[in-house]
């Protein structure tokens, strides 16, 4: 039942508010510094700009854990050059700045970490049970409710900084989306039948992010990989992977230690896919 547009409630019209977010934060550094805008071209773009245009020693340069938020985006960026539809006042558009001391090939794991945290925050607030469609789609009942776009600055094979851009369809009325993306998209409000407090959700996401990130820094990739494997609905499925110059059909077997997808092709070859678009197939599909 989509009564969301017809019956706006107090929460629906509630704006993002840094004081309210801080009330629910349990973190030391993630989300402690919030840059909140009414409108941006893209929160990732703003984060890149803040990092690029100020030297790391400048006190105005965002610290690790800084969070850029916008009520709307005019040029929200999706993966593979796509547009992320970003209407005002209903969703979350967030970019986290992290500076982990890791080698460049490990960076995609942080996308997986963010995906796990989005799923955990949604579950903690709503009892919905999101899953992850590799590499970075957060799904509920087979429909996409959130996506992640990671942009990294690499210097001499090491990560200089990472921008984890997260878009979550929270109180979005799906009927307002362009027709071509509507069938595969959902929002938390659509799933629950009532609106969700965006300030609470972003605070919970910060809390999950800090716990998982510190665990990753202290214990390495094993714990996050274990959770990522258990939440990734792609594993065990027959898939078609659209690569730039060819398609690959096979069974998604596992994730490697960098979060890449290992596919056993129908010719029984093993292939490792680092990025690309995945289509889940039925077993009888070719």
**Interface of this chain with ligand BTN, residues 86 to 105, rule: CB under 6 A:** 93-95
Whichever of 84 and 216 has its CB closer to ligand BTN, that residue is 84
Minimum CB separation from ligand BTN for residue 85, in Å? 9
State which residue, 150 or 190, has the beta carbon closest to ligand BTN.
150
C-alpha to C-alpha distance for 215 and 16, rounded to whole angstroms: 29
| Long-range pairs for 189-194: beta carbons < 8 A, 24 or more residues apart | 189/4, 190/2, 190/4, 191/126, 191/128, 191/140, 191/141, 191/145, 192/126, 192/128, 193/1, 193/3, 194/9
The CB-of-121 to ligand BTN minimum distance in angstroms stands at 15
Alpha-carbon span 172 to 195, nearest angstrom: 9
* Residue range at the interface with ligand BTN (CB under 6 A); choices 39-47, 49-57, 169-177, 181-189: 39-47
- 168-197 binders of ligand BTN (CB under 6 A): none
Binds ligand BTN by CB under 6 A, chosen from 27, 42, 51, 186: 42
Structural contact between residues 136 and 115, judged by C-beta atoms closer than 8 angstroms = yes
Report helix, strand or coil for 102. coil
- Other C-beta atoms lying within 10 Å of the C-beta of residue 244: 7
- The span from the CA of 9 to the CA of 173, in Å, is 13
Query: CB 77: neighbour CB atoms within 10 A?
Result: 19
Closest CB to ligand BTN among residues 95, 187: 95
Left, alpha or beta for 200 (phi > 0: left; psi -120 to 50: alpha)?
A: alpha
Residues in CB range of 253: below 8 A, 6 or more apart: 235, 262, 263, 264, 270
| Binds ligand BTN by CB under 6 A, chosen from 149, 188, 196, 235 | 149
Contact segment (CB under 6 A) with ligand BTN among 6-14, 118-126, 145-153, 207-215 equals: 145-153
Using the rule CB under 6 A, which residue among 21, 27, 44, 205 binds ligand BTN? 44
Which of 31, 62, 100, 167 binds ligand BTN (CB under 6 A)? It is: 167
Distance of closest approach, residue 267 Cβ to ligand BTN, in angstroms: 30
Q: Please name the residue that has the structure tokens 């509507």.
A: 182
Q: Does 148 bind ligand BTN (CB under 6 A)?
A: yes
List the one residue from 62, 165, 195, 276 that touches ligand BTN (CB under 6 A): 165
Of residues 69 through 88, those in contact with ligand BTN by CB under 6 A are 73, 76-79, 82, 84
- Least distance to ligand BTN, CB of residue 151, Å: 9
Beta strands in 83-229 (DSSP E): 92-98, 131-133, 137-140, 143-155, 158-168
Note the residues at the interface with ligand BTN (CB under 6 A). 42-44, 73, 76-79, 82, 84, 93-95, 136-137, 147-149, 165-167
């Amino acid at each position: 039942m989509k009564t969301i547009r017809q019956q706006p409630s107090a929460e629906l019209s509630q704006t993002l508010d840094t004081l309210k977010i801080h009330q629910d934060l349990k973190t030391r550094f993630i989300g402690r510094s919030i840059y909140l805008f009414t409108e941006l071209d893209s929160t990732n773009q703003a984060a890149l700009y803040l990092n690029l245009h100020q030297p790391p020693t400048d006190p105005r340069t965002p610290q690790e854990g800084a969070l850029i938020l916008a009520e709307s985006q005019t040029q929200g960026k999706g993966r593979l050059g796509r547009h992320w539809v970003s209407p005002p006042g209903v969703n979350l558009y967030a970019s986290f700045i992290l500076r982990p001391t890791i080698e460049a090939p490990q960076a995609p794991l942080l996308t997986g970490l963010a995906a796990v945290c989005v799923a955990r925050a949604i579950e903690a607030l709503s009892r919905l049970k999101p899953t992850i469609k590799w590499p970075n789609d957060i799904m509920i009942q087979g429909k996409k409710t959130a996506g992640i776009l990671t942009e990294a600055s690499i210097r001499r094979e090491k990560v200089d900084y990472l921008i984890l851009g997260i878009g979550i369809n929270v109180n979005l009325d799906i009927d307002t989306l362009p027709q071509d993306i509507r069938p595969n998209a959902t929002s938390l409000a659509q799933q629950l039948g009532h609106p969700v407090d965006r300030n609470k959700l972003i605070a919970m996401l910060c809390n999950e992010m800090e716990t998982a990130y510190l665990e990753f820094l202290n214990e390495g990739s094993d714990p996050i990989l274990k959770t990522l494997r258990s939440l990734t609905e792609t594993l065990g499925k027959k898939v078609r992977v659209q690569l730039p110059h060819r398609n690959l059909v096979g069974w998604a077997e596992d994730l490697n230690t960098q979060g890449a997808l290992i596919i056993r092709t129908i010719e029984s070859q093993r292939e490792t896919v680092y990025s690309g678009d995945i289509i889940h197939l039925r077993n009888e599909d070719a």
